[in-house]
Structure 1
């Protein structure tokens, strides 16, 4: 009985940690646009999940794997905050996020820890078609949000770095078509 109760408490701790994403603002919007109340990391993840679900179902990807990878891709930020490239080096960020993910996932049963660590590593190394898609969806969602901010009157010049970053990263022809359509609206 004690083990089951501890397991339940640990899973609840994981849920609380994950819920922190609702309070973590996307730092790039603050730094580049001086937005007072930008979207949260959870907002971004939800929008990506919708994109991932639709695109992976249409293109016959493993939708479950895509959605899990999307839900995990920024989970470390529930503890670290949204760290931008201007704050620390890419290598430092990888080390920090990897150690943070280990701690976060440690609250889950071992079978889930292994599964989610594997998906996290796959995403980080970008060595599968699903990981490549999730990285591109991350940029596509950023483009959509940048366009929303542009339509709300934020500086198009300040948003160009977001659009250019996405344009350089998105390789899938159908995602590139969506990227172009987002810019047209």
Structure 2
């Protein structure tokens, strides 16, 4: 996610217990990363088991194959990966927490509505809709490990990207590597580098989703969340992003104009 006021989770992360007997075919993978909450950053250790894709002996589950002949992650590696991704459902976006929003959205909530945006957007010349949906689902996936880092945490943009890249690599190792893991890395890098028209569009959806959520929280909680609108002003890259943002801002202006003094 591009650095913005709502781009960090509030929950501290801890090591992930995987309640399964350890087969000799499993090895430990550990990644020292900084985790962030409302306190100053402090290093925590994430340690998860991953299937060793090169192992060919032992009683553990073996690598499966798709009908097209490509190697797939084993069932155990897939469930390890999905269990790690559970954190995306439970980690709240820190920008809302910092503004006192009760029951704020999770990282997964944010990514899901972005994927819906990609699904319902009108056809655009040269834009691969399926790729947009995939980028939306993957763009914040590393936050399952590092959390949702905001400017208020004082982490330089380059360091934030490094931490997220390392976390993504760790998650792909948990998955067992292979084509799907490489695809996730490619999609994430495409978004991070804003290197395609699809990435441009999903970057806009990221901002549109944030200001739409801000408007909803303003309405629900009687707050004024100006900074989320100010931080995105003039930064939309695509016509659909500009159009949707303008509609949200128009609705907000009408609401503010009609609000009782």
TM-score of the aligned structures, taking structure 1 as reference length: 0.90
- Residues 145, 167 of structure 2: 8 Å contact kept: yes
Q: Does 1:25 align with 2:92?
A: yes
Q: 1:125: how far off?
A: 0.8
* Distance in 2 separating the partners of 1:2 and 1:180: 52
CA RMSD of aligned residues (A): 1.7
Which of the pair has more CA radius of gyration? Answer: 2
Q: Which of 242, 249, 256 lines up with 1:176 in the alignment?
A: 242
Q: Deviations over 1:4-52 (max 9, x none)?
A: 3881101111111122111010111112x11232111111111111111
Alignment match, 1:2: 61
Other structure's SS at 2:221 match? coil
Normalized per residue, the structure richer in strand is 2
Structure with more helix by fraction: 1
Matched, 1:14 2:81: yes
Match of 2:219 among 145, 151, 161: 151
Q: CA deviation at 1:166?
A: 2.0
Matches within 5 A, 1:102-113: 102-106=169-173, 107-113=175-181
TM-score by length of 2: 0.65
Structure 1 match to 2:123: 58
Partner of 1:137: 205
1:89 aligns with 2:156: yes
Contact 1:80/1:100 (CA < 8 Å) preserved in 2?
Answer: yes
Aligned residues: 181
Tell me the residue number matched to 2:189. 121
Range that drifts further, 128-137 or 60-69: 60-69
Asked whether the equivalents of residues 27 and 82 of structure 1 are also in contact (C-alpha less than 8 Å), the reply is yes
